[in-house]
Structure 1
Amino acid sequence: MSKKIYVRSFFIVAIIVMVSSFYSLPYYVSKPGIAKELHPIIEVKNGTEEKGSFMLTTVRMGKANIYSYLIAKWSKFQELYPVNAIRSKDETDKEYNIRQLQLMSSSKTAAIEVAYKNAGLPFKYEYKGVYVLNVIPNMPAENKLDAADRVFEMDGKPIQSSDDFLELIKEKKAGEHVALTYERENKVKNVDLTLKAFPSDNKKVGVGIVLVDDKKILVDPEVKIQTSNIGGPSAGFMFSLEIYNQLVKEDLTKGYKIAGTGTITSDGTVGRIGGIEQKIVAADRAGADIFLAPNENGAKDSNYVAAVKTAKEIDSKMKIVPINQFDEAIQYLEDLKMKNK
């Protein structure tokens, strides 16, 4: 083979590899992310210091191309998920990303409520309207409203919450008009929509948007959580522990690196998350001593069971602790002996 043919063949192969890497398959790849200390990103005004640390754990998630698909197929701690297992039906990339950021925002709010409630400190909510999470295809809001729009008025009446929105809508019938006032990219706009019955339930009418409350929790002392572009609800439980630890006098970390995961609800329930196996790997790589895992009331396929299995497979020295409720975690940490130096 002549040098010219060899060089030409090389460039052709290189171009094929490069082009094919941009072609997405209908799958997402999940792989171990990072374990990140929370104290630098969560600040309670005049909060107490820690000798150890609480850590959130993440997974790296992205659309699969042919190469990442093949790597995931042969990697023990990478997972493949069909697109419909990650994104809702008809959900766009933009809507998915906004939903993930909104879930993160909601998890932060719930974490603050749980922490302050358990620390015996007051809190209250300020409602400012509703955010659009999704726009349902073939409904009046399609191409009129968009994900992340903040709706705060209907027919001149103020809307503070999704309950307000639904109360006003239920008084109307298909074919009637509603005038909505909303904010998009710091600009106030108006739109007139004709109500229509939902395809899934023709007894209900609406404009075809999925809503979430735009609300702010007001607390004293003030708390700030800097999460950048991290999305999803799975850090809520660890947020609540870090906030609580800065509010109380006793340092619950006691010198340990304490990683974990789980959603949190306002009543303190710690919920199931995805990617527990990858998060165990991430925490182990970061040198965590303890990992707090959702126990799901002892379910056979709980996150805790999967976490224990993964820890054994990678020969981790981390102690895996099952948690159902926030106060269980507090009790465990209060009983924990100080780490030997």
Structure 2
Amino acid sequence: MKNKKRIRYLLWIAIILLAISFYYLPYYVSKPGMAKELRPIIEVEDGYDEEGNFMLTTVRMGRANIYSYLIAKFSDYQEIYPMDEIKGEDETDEEYNVRQLHLMDSSKSAAIEVAYKKAAIPIDYQYNGVYVLNVVPEMPADGKLEPADRVFKVDELEFTSSAEFIDYVSSKKAGESIHLTYERNSEVEDVSVNVAAFNDPENKDRVGIGIGLVDDKELNVSPDVTVKTDEIGGPSAGFMFSLEIYNQLTAEDLTKGYEIAGTGTISPDGVVGKIGGIEQKIIAADKAGADIFLAPNENDAKDSNYQEAVKTAKDIGTDMRIIPINTFDEAIDYLENLEMKQ
């Protein structure tokens, strides 16, 4: 009888523990991810080979349950983020995923643009419209447009930038109707939407339809370049993409035989921007055997990624060199002056 009670008691404990593992808290937890060679991901047609490697660094991010929250709470290199720091207010999971994937697409485009310009290779731009990132609840577009829709005509007019689209819509008066032509799942559709005043105080004097948007444009280049990112989201790999693309475009091997990791956003003008999770990326790069880590310096800001990277590198006792980088050109100068690995 006592054994049966003990078994029943243990069974209830197991059920409760299992149920707790499926109960998610309003937090996200990030932890060290991986450092992955970029050569298998990026291929420039007839590109040059390299002796070393440029590496993409990542963090692992997921919703926190009670277990992962407690582990992160007592871990030096796991971070806890309130949900509203990761997802925007009222942003759905679908909108978040669309935003992350499009940020990755934008970072790829910027990386290609920077690398080909540096290599003095012409780029042909094709503007496809505006890409819907999110839809504001209770605004006119709510229920009519969806994240990932591509709007390419307004009142039968085509535009060459999202700024032109915004200016046209903003020129309307609240209550006026506009006709949108858009593509969803490879099918072209039409919808009429009334323009309305925004509800938030910052935009109270403006009108719109209530969508977050960015330019949807293609870069046509020769030689062709393929960047395979699958389901990877976010913009933080852009800088390292640009280095790998440029290295394959030019005869000089910038890796000089080193394993070179790094991180940072890249803008079309070559500025390297701050990212999240730099501490976890340093750990991932060190575990992968990187010799050098290129970190965004943000023009010597006291709280720059570079400063955080130096601190983490010291804490874990790595031999990896941490190099401050502000721009793509600055990174190229550093790599061109790097001595060959012995």
What TM-score does the superposition give when structure 2 sets the normalisation length? Answer: 0.97
For residues 294 and 270 of structure 2, what CA distance do their matches in structure 1 show? 14
Task: Tell me which residue corresponds to 2:298.
Answer: 296
For residues 274 and 263 of structure 1, what CA distance do their matches in structure 2 show? 10
For residues 11 and 99 of structure 2, what CA distance do their matches in structure 1 show? 41
State the AA in 1 paired with 2:101.
L
Question: SS in structure 1 opposite 2:255?
Answer: coil
Task: Tell me which residue corresponds to 1:173.
Answer: 173
For residues 187 and 106 of structure 2, what CA distance do their matches in structure 1 show? 24
Task: Tell me which residue corresponds to 2:136.
Answer: 136
Given that 1:47 and 1:246 are in contact with CA atoms closer than 8 Å, whether structure 2 keeps it comes out as: yes
Task: Tell me which residue corresponds to 2:8.
Answer: 8
Question: SS in structure 2 opposite 1:297?
Answer: coil
Task: Tell me which residue corresponds to 2:284.
Answer: 282
For residues 206 and 265 of structure 1, what CA distance do their matches in structure 2 show? 27
Displacement after TM superposition at 1:124 (Å): 2.2
Task: Tell me which residue corresponds to 2:242.
Answer: 240
Q: 1:258 aligns with which of 250, 257, 260?
A: 260
For residues 115 and 6 of structure 1, what CA distance do their matches in structure 2 show? 67
For residues 140 and 21 of structure 1, what CA distance do their matches in structure 2 show? 40
Q: Deviations over 1:279-325 (max 9, x none)?
A: 00000000000000011111111111110110111111100001111
Task: Tell me which residue corresponds to 1:35.
Answer: 35
Q: Deviations over 1:228-260 (max 9, x none)?
A: 111111101000000000000010101100000
Given that 1:152 and 1:160 are in contact with CA atoms closer than 8 Å, whether structure 2 keeps it comes out as: no
Given that 1:130 and 1:160 are in contact with CA atoms closer than 8 Å, whether structure 2 keeps it comes out as: no
Q: 2:324 aligns with which of 308, 322, 325?
A: 322
Displacement after TM superposition at 1:84 (Å): 1.2
For residues 17 and 141 of structure 1, what CA distance do their matches in structure 2 show? 43
Q: Deviations over 1:91-134 (max 9, x none)?
A: 11111111111111111100001101111111121011111101
Instruction: State the 4+ residue runs in structure 1 displaced beyond 6 angstroms.
Output: none
Task: Tell me which residue corresponds to 1:206.
Answer: 208
Q: 2:223 aligns with which of 199, 221, 224?
A: 221
Q: Deviations over 1:50-92 (max 9, x none)?
A: 1000001000011111110000001110000111111111111
1:47-126 to 2 correspondence within 5 Å? 47-126=47-126
Task: Tell me which residue corresponds to 1:147.
Answer: 147
Displacement after TM superposition at 1:160 (Å): 4.6
State the AA in 2 paired with 1:183.
E
For residues 284 and 263 of structure 1, what CA distance do their matches in structure 2 show? 21
Alpha-carbon RMSD: 1.1
State the AA in 2 paired with 1:287.
G
Displacement after TM superposition at 1:2 (Å): 2.1
Q: Deviations over 1:180-220 (max 9, x none)?
A: 12111122222221111011223211110011111111111
Question: SS in structure 2 opposite 1:234?
Answer: coil
State the AA in 2 paired with 1:164.
E
State the AA in 1 paired with 2:14.
A
Distance 1:159 1:6, change over 3 A: farther
State the AA in 1 paired with 2:287.
R
For residues 168 and 301 of structure 1, what CA distance do their matches in structure 2 show? 40
For residues 189 and 156 of structure 1, what CA distance do their matches in structure 2 show? 13
The gaps in structure 1 that reach 5 residues or longer are none
For residues 287 and 336 of structure 1, what CA distance do their matches in structure 2 show? 18
State the AA in 1 paired with 2:156.
G
State the AA in 2 paired with 1:246.
Q
Match status 1:305 vs 2:307: yes
Question: SS in structure 2 opposite 1:298?
Answer: coil
Distance 1:315 1:215, change over 3 A: same
State the AA in 2 paired with 1:304.
Y
What TM-score does the superposition give when structure 1 sets the normalisation length? Answer: 0.97
State the AA in 1 paired with 2:87.
R
Work out the percentage of aligned pairs sharing the same amino acid: 64
For residues 124 and 163 of structure 1, what CA distance do their matches in structure 2 show? 20
Given that 1:151 and 1:159 are in contact with CA atoms closer than 8 Å, whether structure 2 keeps it comes out as: no
Displacement after TM superposition at 1:159 (Å): 4.1
Match status 1:197 vs 2:197: yes
1:151-162 to 2 correspondence within 5 Å? 151-162=151-162
Question: SS in structure 2 opposite 1:39?
Answer: coil
Displacement after TM superposition at 1:165 (Å): 1.7
Question: SS in structure 2 opposite 1:245?
Answer: helix
State the AA in 1 paired with 2:341.
K
Displacement after TM superposition at 1:10 (Å): 2.1
